[in-house]
Amino acid sequence: MNYTYEYPRPSLTVDCVVFGLDESNELRVLLIQRALDPYAGYWALPGGFVKIDEGLEDAARRELFEETGVKDVFVEQLFTFGNMQRDPRGRVVSVAYYALVNLKDHPVKASTDAKHADWFKLGEIPELAFDHKEILAKAIERIRSKVLYKPIGFELLPEKFTLSDLQKLYETILGQLLNRRNFRSKILKLDLLEELERQTNVSHRPAQLYKFNKEKYEELSSKDGEFIFEIRFHHRDNREEGENEV
Amino acid sequence: MNYTYEYPRPSLTVDCVVFGLDESNELRVLLIQRALDPYAGYWALPGGFVKIDEGLEDAARRELFEETGVKDVFVEQLFTFGNMQRDPRGRVVSVAYYALVNLKDHPVKASTDAKHADWFKLGEIPELAFDHKEILAKAIERIRSKVLYKPIGFELLPEKFTLSDLQKLYETILGQLLNRRNFRSKILKLDLLEELERQTNVSHRPAQLYKFNKEKYEELSSKDGEFIFEIRFHHRDNREEGENEV
DNA sequence: TCAAAAGTGTTTAGTTTACACCCATGC
DNA sequence: GCATGGGTGTAAACTAAACACTTTTGA
């Protein structure tokens, strides 16, 4: 069946930039290898055409699930890309989303029109299809700035985490080392972490496990317009401690 | 001429939320009164269909100019709205932009398919067509948060302005009164304002006029990744001064 | 000389930074 | 008993907040 319109219309797609944290606390992006032309064989962001009767975010979630098996994750709209030359098939406008997931909970399984799906370290991104490099760059920029004033980082961690996990996450996203004591006091002062049990079976002093109290955060930020989740570190402190003790 | 596609495609539009400052330093939004159905007679954000061979921001600027005569202004993408029911004509996805202008430089003149165009105070917005109320709300939220860490406020002022103008602008956008002395020192400490001449022909002590040094800001923020334009006021100070002496 | 807005400096409170050593566990 | 990462307190430096009176001009 065909569809006819009086004026030409661009195609509308969605693309997802999915970030995950790997075992060694490095940030990775979920890419799929395209099976079909254009750019067959190239790696690309998961995404695809928006159906006429589905919402934009719904389309992003659907494509993400179909192509990578990832579902039920934090997703937010990033930006809409509409350069004339971004797709060789013609005028294609793409609404990009970014997602944050705990990588361990989302083993990838490719399906549908994606040949493979895999998690890539940020430093090892292959050449990407379309303008996906640009979309990825925008997504990185976005999470870098957003993590400073919204508690989105917790989406990348498992439910239970240690303060060291959290600190490493911030160090990864911000690309700078942070002072441990100051990080801990800053985070704990927000009073948004719930203390759980301690770690077990680690060959060092077991760390306290915490859980982010999302309900409390939402209550505070909606009720009290003043409340700001602000994690900002003005001066960095690279050299770790334990140095010259005379 | 007709255009036929294998799959149905949504229409793609752009909408612009244009903010301006009026003589009494109140924030206003530029609306047009629709001449055509749907929502004929209703007030709406300026906007319209994206042409197949024009960029999204280009489309936003074109529609803005055609419908209101406003051009050459600061424009940034806001969000893309794609609810299924947002337009009675069918599936219409709209990429929204917001613009900041100095109202005095942009006397409105309606044309094309807009019956009228006018500047409305934020407190006196009429019922709007489509989901434009939602778009407007998102734009207000965006400028409120963005003004705290990007120097977008200057886009609303004339080239030359006084510190009082700037303070009133911040008070308007943030919806809170600020302490004059603290505001002045905070702003001047950034060292991004150029001192010009003084006011003339005012019936009080003439104020110093300033100009925002955009080049310097851009140089600092690109070269020195650390530099942050941050204007944040933690406690407000409502009662103005000059009170009980003795 | 009055009204109206501009301009200015200092003290206090709060926040952020910098910094070094002991603790608990598994192997 | 040693290697590994976890955990802690305080003083100094800085930044933000609070606050009242004098200045300049036109009318």
| CATH number for the domain that contains residue B200 | 1.10.10.10
**CA–CA separation, B224 vs B28, rounded Å?**
35
**Same domain as B33, residue B139:** yes
Domain harbouring A38, CATH code: 3.90.79.10
Q: What are phi and psi of A174, to 5 degrees?
A: -80, -15
Nearest to A9 among B6, B12, B83 (CB): B12
Whether residue B6 lies within 8 A of chain A, CB to CB, comes out as yes
Segment A197-212 shows an average pLDDT of 92
Question: What residue numbers bound the domain in which A171 lies?
Answer: 159-221
From B67's Cα to the closest Cα of chain A, the distance in A is: 20
> Are A56 and B5 a contacting pair at CB < 8 A?
no
Higher pLDDT among residues A114 and B106, named by residue = B106
Segment A235-245 shows an average pLDDT of 38
Q: What is the pTM of this model?
A: 0.91
> Are B84 and A53 a contacting pair at CB < 8 A?
yes
One-letter amino acid at B57 equals E
A231 alpha-carbon distance from chain centroid = 18
Residue B223 reports pLDDT greater than 80: no
Segment B98-102 shows an average pLDDT of 95
Residue of A nearest to B5 (CA): A3
In a domain, B5, yes or no: no
In a domain, A71, yes or no: yes
Looking at the structure of chain A, the number of domains it has is 2
Higher pLDDT among residues B213 and A107, named by residue = B213
Residue A96 reports pLDDT greater than 50: yes
For residue B225, what are the contacts with CB-CB under 8 A and spacing of at least 6? none
Segment A189-194 shows an average pLDDT of 91
* pLDDT confidence of residue A225: 57
> Are B11 and A8 a contacting pair at CB < 8 A?
no
**For residue A129, what pLDDT band results from cuts at 50, 70 and 90?**
very high
The CA radius of gyration of chain B, in Å to the nearest whole number, is: 21
CA atoms within 13 A on the CB side of B125: 21
Sign of CA dihedral B238, B239, B241, B245: negative
In a domain, A246, yes or no: no
For residue A203, what are the contacts with CB-CB under 8 A and spacing of at least 6? none
Q: Which of B:32-51 have CB within 8 Å of A?
A: 49-50
Higher pLDDT among residues B219 and B83, named by residue = B83
By CB atoms closer than 10 A (0-12, 13-18, 19+), residue B240 is exposed
* pLDDT confidence of residue B1: 84
Q: Long-range contacts made by residues B215-219, C-beta under 8 angstroms, separation at least 24?
A: B216/B191, B216/B192, B217/B151, B217/B192
In a domain, A217, yes or no: yes
**Same domain as A141, residue A171:** no
Higher pLDDT among residues B94 and B223, named by residue = B94
Whether residue A9 lies within 8 A of chain B, CB to CB, comes out as yes
* pLDDT confidence of residue B104: 82
**For residue A115, what pLDDT band results from cuts at 50, 70 and 90?**
low
**For residue A224, what pLDDT band results from cuts at 50, 70 and 90?**
low
**For residue A109, what pLDDT band results from cuts at 50, 70 and 90?**
low
**Same domain as A23, residue A102:** yes
* pLDDT confidence of residue B236: 40
Residue A161 reports pLDDT greater than 70: yes
From the Cβ of A221, is strand D under 7 Å away?
Answer: no
Closest nt by CA–C1' to B242: D20
Domain end marker among B97, B115, B146: B146
Interface size, chain A vs chain B, as Cβ–Cβ contacts under 8 Å:
83
* pLDDT confidence of residue A141: 94
Closest nt by CA–C1' to A233: C16
Domain end marker among B146, B171, B201: B146
Segment A73-86 shows an average pLDDT of 97
**Same domain as A197, residue A98:** no
Residue B110 reports pLDDT greater than 90: no
Question: Which residues of A are less than 8 Å from B53 in CB distance?
Answer: 84, 91
Higher pLDDT among residues A93 and B231, named by residue = A93
**Same domain as B126, residue B35:** yes
From A58's Cα to the closest Cα of chain B, the distance in A is: 10
In a domain, B66, yes or no: yes
**CA–CA separation, A148 vs A156, rounded Å?**
15
From the Cβ of B188, is strand C under 7 Å away?
Answer: no
**CA–CA separation, B25 vs B28, rounded Å?**
9
Residue B132 tokens, joined: 């434009």
One-letter amino acid at B38 equals P
